[in-house]
A and B are shown apart, each in its own frame.
Chain A
């Protein structure tokens, strides 16, 4: 193969991968121009054969291709122990979750990859995990309720603080602020002694014991380090590098932590991905999540079917569910919507709004008993009368 041929391959109207495959299989071979032309002809005819026919019902084929193997899936694999002791919903419930485009999956998780300087060092990977994992105040010291003086005493453990790379001052600033902002409890004053590493919380209402215990509960559980949504982090070594697996997901905040590789880190919360990284990333996430859920159950579904579903879900710039609040509910035709779910409501609303059904789709035409516009039904042929001799 010479350069001229290579350039000709590049300009062909073929998919990128087909062109690359053709190039690799032809390199180093001695072929004449005639042979090259014949090869191209054969590649083209093969490619044309592999393409979907016009008017083919791809949606129905996709639905069947995902639906039939779906019946083989385990019905309830809630909380199947996935990687590293973290529970992940898998199987049919997860697939339903993806197709329904829930705002929050029932078990959000992330796989946080680290940059080169962090990922090969166990201690540094641990340090990143502390920045991510939500740690309540009681992990950093002793909390006692002083009933005599009606106050809550916190005695911070300096060695724990040093180990987890957080200073007493930072806790001193974060704890009261977080109690006020995140836990909406404001009726208290704070006094602190940085030298002795103590913080004293004094409730404004100094009469009520109930109030004091309430305050103590807030103090105990206030998150002073890490990201609020991420409840647990597990560090695991995979293929020589350390990866953090999390329970709970918050892409935006995790991306801001030093040492996190933003290009490889992934979450299973699709709508979060679509919000933080855009609709195209959301589309990829749907394909990846649906495919890995199916493959995990040993079900092989062609990507093209899932790609079609993902494309439909992401068509309008946001992730839409497959169902009456998403794609099916926004169809133009009244009869088509009525045929899907909540029939009476749709017909009633349509009658009130004086809607007209143009009968362009498949469902409507089946209902009224006309030929559908699919396959050969989409082609309109008019036969010229021929003079037949009888």
Chain B
């Protein structure tokens, strides 16, 4: 998602970027679409209730254990 879309998303839900669900940068799905740390990705899920639903995740670095 580009920056404008992210800003819109955050404004709709009155949240900050950090409040979005996260996904690690080395997640196989993120690698497949080539997302970088700090990007927000839009996920279209096959939902059991709504048929199709959109979700968003913020790409972040995997914390070291």
A residues near B (Cβ < 8 Å) are 15-18, 20, 276-281, 284, 287, 303-304, 307, 311, 314-318
Cβ contact within 8 Å between A315 and B28: no
Q: Which 4 A-B pairs have the closest CB atoms?
A: A17-B51, A278-B29, A15-B50, A16-B52
Cβ contact within 8 Å between B52 and A317: no
* Residue of B with least CB distance to A281: B29
**CA A238 to CA B57, docked complex, whole Å:** 38
Residue from the list B29, B43, B51 in contact with A15, Cβ < 8 A: B51
* Residue of B with least CB distance to A276: B28
Q: Is B30 an interface residue (CB 8 A)?
A: yes
Q: Mark B12-54, 1 if CB is under 8 A from A, else 0.
A: 0000000001111001111000000000000101011111110
* Residue of A with least CB distance to B62: A317
* List of A residues within 8 angstroms of B57 by Cβ: 279, 317
Interface residues of chain B: helix, strand, loop or mixed (majority): mixed
B residues near A (Cβ < 8 Å) are 21-24, 27-30, 43, 45, 47-53, 57, 60, 62
Taking the closest CB of chain B, its distance from the CB of A100, in whole angstroms, is 19
* Residue of A with least CB distance to B24: A317
* List of B residues within 8 angstroms of A279 by Cβ: 23-24, 27, 29, 57
- Most chain A CB within 10 A, of B21, B30, B45, is at B21
Residue from the list A281, A304, A317 in contact with B60, Cβ < 8 A: A317
**CA A230 to CA B28, docked complex, whole Å:** 23
**CA A16 to CA B50, docked complex, whole Å:** 6
* List of A residues within 8 angstroms of B21 by Cβ: 311, 314-317
* List of B residues within 8 angstroms of A20 by Cβ: 51
Cβ contact within 8 Å between A280 and B22: no
Cβ contact within 8 Å between B51 and A315: no
- Most chain A CB within 10 A, of B27, B30, B49, is at B27
Taking the closest CB of chain B, its distance from the CB of A315, in whole angstroms, is 5
**CA A284 to CA B46, docked complex, whole Å:** 9
**CA A287 to CA B23, docked complex, whole Å:** 18
Cβ contact within 8 Å between A317 and B22: yes
Taking the closest CB of chain B, its distance from the CB of A182, in whole angstroms, is 26
Given the known inter-chain contacts A316-B22, A317-B62, please indicate yes or no for A16 contacting B30, CB distance below 8 A: no
**CA A277 to CA B60, docked complex, whole Å:** 17
* List of B residues within 8 angstroms of A17 by Cβ: 47, 49-52
9 more contacts with CB within 8 A, not counting A314-B21, A317-B23, are A15-B47, A15-B49, A15-B52, A277-B28, A277-B29, A278-B23, A317-B21, A317-B60, A318-B24
Cβ contact within 8 Å between B49 and A304: yes
* List of B residues within 8 angstroms of A18 by Cβ: 50-51
* List of B residues within 8 angstroms of A316 by Cβ: 21-22
* Residue of B with least CB distance to A275: B28
Given the known inter-chain contacts A15-B53, A317-B24, please indicate yes or no for A280 contacting B48, CB distance below 8 A: no
* List of B residues within 8 angstroms of A278 by Cβ: 23, 27-30
Taking the closest CB of chain A, its distance from the CB of B42, in whole angstroms, is 12
Cβ contact within 8 Å between B43 and A280: yes
**CA A16 to CA B51, docked complex, whole Å:** 6
Cβ contact within 8 Å between A280 and B62: no
